Structure 1
Amino acid sequence: MKKRISTYVISLCLLLTACGQETSQSINAEQPKPLDVNLQGPEVLQKNESGIYKAEVTYGDEKVKNDDVEMIEFEIEKKDAEGKGKMLKPKQVEEGIYEIQTSFADPGTYTVQSHVSAKGTHNMPLITVTVK
């Protein structure tokens, strides 16, 4: 009987030790970093005036490399025409920086929104643009 209890206690100790090691390993695993997209561009333009919109993409403290970008597009949409926006593919101007140049033919309020997926995360900041 004592031999069974001893075996049981030893088995329980081994099991608890193994679980404790697994927990400490998962704590030491790299934590995901935030995908940050800093969208910049003019917020007021004249009709037919050209504006440059730029997205600076970082993951943690580092600029995202082009190989890590799964998708990047800019969506331009007039406020009263939701769901009818146009998607534009930006050009890469340097590591982690993408831009488009566009103009607006009609006065009104528009949104310029970047859609960025990289390293398994997605970010969609936007800028509201008033066209006079």
Structure 2
Amino acid sequence: MNKKYLIKKNKEYRKIYNEGISLANRYAVIFTLKNSLGQKRFGFSVSKKIGKAVERNRVRRRLKEICRKNDEFFLNGYDYILIARKGIEELSYNSIQDSVENLAYRINKKIAREN
């Protein structure tokens, strides 16, 4: 995933958490907020509850790859933060992908209802 599509600053994360909308399922939470850039950006958060650094990085890499490959599920002009929940480290790649696709679909429907 290209660096220009990543959210890096703590200030940006806090703004999305405080002002954005969210949805969750058993393995992940998604936050989103409209941005002024006209392109989609992603942030990823994997807690220390998930496991040691190797497992957390594996989960983060999988989430990044899923977002990169399936960017058509996410709307342009929005920032997305994906937060991994405990238990996601035991899932296969395809299961994580299904979970993220479901969240993206549901959050886009929620955005459409609010506009």
TM-score (norm 1): 0.28
Structure exhibiting the larger radius of gyration computed from Cα positions: 1
More strand by share: 1
TM-score (norm 2): 0.31
More helix by share: 2
